[in-house]
Amino acid sequence: MNIIEFRDFYRSELQKTNKESDYIFKILLKEICNIDPLKIALDPNFNIKPENDMLLRESLKKILRNYPLDYIINKKSFFGYDFYVDENVLIPRPETEELVQWVIDDNNNGDKKKLIDLGTGSGCIGISISKAINLDVTLADISKDALHVCKINNDILESNVKIIEYDLNTEFTENQFFDIIISNPPYLDYYSKDEIDENVNFEPHIALFAPIDDPLHFYKQILVFADRNLNKGGQIYLEINPAFIKEFKSLLTEFKPNDVNFRMDFRGKKRLVKLSF
């Protein structure tokens, strides 16, 4: 099958979905077959090799069952960098870039502060910050598989971060104190899982969903961590669930931050918050 015939095959298979068939086809050509998509226009009779034929067909099967394209190509652009991603980590979201930018804007004065990214996943938050400003950055996660992905991204992007295994449900035993805590913890309501996009179901549920009947569990654990390990005058930057703003504010009365600053994300949802202590 030549490249035009394959493009038309993708169009016919994806026509009943809302997926952009030509965009998907071009991405797969480039990322998994190492074929320049310009060949569609410049060399329409270009024949797809059998090994690439198989890759494209298998990828199409995955796309048709809503498997994320980012996992197929093992790549997601975030804050101007290409991060390696697989099923062991969440796919970075654009609203999280706004949280990263907030930290950078607040801390670009050259002070060598210590930052920890709790529940780091792919490492996209902490690594992006470390590439932009001169901070001492630690990435922490409970998942060994996620930390393996972190190490891949640390190597690919030649960043200089510390990577540790840590369970937020346990006491932090390292004798370290931080000036900045940042986290995008699991915050989706388990009872709303049937309402989320089907492709999200392929992402690790441990990184998506808060415990049943306790949607603010990880926020409380982060605040407990901060009570013991955040330096005086420190800040916490969080991505939060807009559906639980009232409950989140109630939780804060127990920990008494000096200042609370909410921000809307680019979708107009109150999803970002900075706590100052």
Task: Examine the domain organization and report whether 140 and 171 are in the same domain.
Answer: yes
In this structure, are 192 and 248 located in the same domain?
Answer: yes
Q: Is pLDDT of 197 > 90? A: no
Strands (E), the chain: 76-78, 81-83, 114-118, 136-141, 162-165, 178-183, 230-239, 259-264, 270-276
Do 113 and 135 share a domain, yes or no?
Answer: yes
Residue 195 banded pLDDT, cuts 50, 70, 90: low
Residue ranges making up the domain that contains 55: 3-65
Q: What is the pLDDT of residue 175?
A: 87
Residue 193 has pLDDT above 80, yes or no: no
Is the residue at 91 inside a domain?
Answer: yes
Same domain (yes/no): 146, 198: yes
- Residue 240 tokens, joined: 């939060």
Residue 70 lies in a domain: no
State if pTM tops 0.85: yes
User: How many domains is the chain partitioned into structurally?
Assistant: 2
Copy the structure tokens of residue 107.
């801390």
Report pLDDT for 194. Answer: 60
| Boundary of a domain, candidates 40, 65, 90 | 65
Give yes or no for a contact between 219 and 273, defined as CB atoms under 8 angstroms apart: no
pLDDT exceeds cutoff 90 at 198: no
Reading the block at residue 153, the tokens are: 């991204």
Residues 214, 89 share a domain: yes
Percent of the chain with pLDDT over 70: 98
What is d(CA 83, CA 88) in angstroms, rounded to the nearest whole number? 13
Q: In which residue are the tokens 């409950």 written?
A: 247
